[in-house]
Amino acid sequence: MEKTNKSSPIGFILLGFSDQPQLEIVLLYVISIFYFLTLVGNTTIILISYLDPKLHNPMYFFLSNLSFLDLCFTTSIIPQMLWNFRGPDKSITYIGCITQFFVALGLGCTECILLTVMAYDRYVAICQPLHYAIIMHPRLLKQLASVSWISGFLESLIQSKLIFQLTLCSHHMLDDFMCEEPALIKIAAVDTTFIETELCIASILHVMIPLGLILVSYVCIARTTLRIKSSGGWRKVLGTCSSHLVVVTLFFGTILVAYMQPKNTKNRTKFLTLFYTVVTPTLNPMIYTFRNKDMKKALTRLLG
């Protein structure tokens, strides 16, 4: 098979759903609506959390980080996706592919860590309420947020360096609608055993371990909740944790199902990828707004 120089600045072809042009037209309009809702919803949460003094606490500090992350994540993927869906041109430049890969992967890894930090915040709030203000002081909040962002993009930098040093097949056709690692590995013209092993280790570090820590946090929260005898206390705990738990289930659940799919279910995997890259960032602000009394009150005050 003909090969290209691994550093050649040639573009890629994102096949996406090119075999189903009618589906792409439908997705063009549907995803445009979701993207608009994502921009409005997440921007609203950031503005409310900043403008309302009553929301200047750790929970909304991390929620603002999550909203900003979702804004960046969708913007790194969706505009290129919509451009490719609108016509026969499915190309993306070499630099564009590297940039999208690095930014999207970095933000995805950051979200895994950030959701874990938010679970820790909920654990301290419920299991150690008397020490909450002491433990979750502003300096620690900034440190935890910094660790989330730095670790996510450090992992992305390592993965990007490894992937784009590979010698690729000459056609440069990715069976995906974005520059993702599995699609790039498939068109490698060399042995990728090391890359796949490293990817497996990275998945354990940035997906399985954070998910495990989140589960441990909620086990501790559940044990504390079982000791509460009043129904009002139960409702308070449910109101504090339910939004985060729903977001965690959507994000990690979709990722795990997408990457555990058999290789012959390509379209199903693509739809699952669409879900966590397009739908989940749109649902996050809705979940936190509709299921959060403080957020609804703050929105009412600002609009009123």
CA 191 to chain CA centroid, nearest Å? 29
- What's the gap between Cα 280 and its chain centre? 8
Residue 231 confidence (pLDDT): 67
CATH class of 12-303: mainly alpha
Tell me which H or E stretch contains 14.
strand 12-14
pLDDT in tens, 54-104: 888 898 999 999 999 999 999 999 999 999 888 888 889 989 999 999 999
Domain locations along the chain: 12-303
In degrees and rounded to multiples of 5, residue 14 shows phi and psi of -95, 100
Please state, in angstroms and rounded to a whole number, the distance separating the CA atoms of residues 43 and 37: 10
Query: Sign of torsion, CA 197 198 203 204?
Result: positive
> Cα separation of 6 and 167, whole Å?
4
| CB 24 within 8 Å of CB 17 | yes
Q: State the Cα–Cα distance between residues 117 and 224, nearest whole angstrom.
A: 19
Strand, helix or coil at 53? helix
| Amino acid in position 290 | F
Question: What string of pLDDT tens digits covers the 304 residues of the chain?
Answer: 344 444 445 788 888 888 788 888 999 999 999 999 999 999 989 998 888 888 888 989 999 999 999 999 999 999 999 998 888 888 899 899 999 999 999 999 999 999 999 999 999 988 888 889 899 999 999 999 999 999 999 999 999 998 888 887 777 888 888 898 888 888 888 888 888 888 888 888 888 999 999 999 999 988 888 887 776 667 777 777 888 888 999 899 888 887 766 655 566 778 888 888 899 999 888 888 766 777 778 778 777 6
3-state SS record for 235-277 = HHHHHHHHHHHHHHHHHHHHHHHHHCCCCCCHHHHHHHHHHHH
- Using CA atoms, how far residue 24 sits from 17, 101, 117, 155, in Å, is 6, 22, 37, 32
- Bridge pairing between strands 91-92 and 12-14: antiparallel
Alpha helices (runs of H) in the chain, residue ranges in sequence order: 21-51, 58-85, 94-127, 132-135, 138-163, 181-186, 193-203, 209-226, 231-259, 266-274, 280-290, 293-303
The pLDDT value given to residue 6? 44
pTM: 0.88
Closest CA to 269 of 183, 163, 141: 183
pLDDT in tens, 131-156: 898 999 999 999 999 999 999 999 99
Whether 184 contacts 101, CB under 8 Å: yes
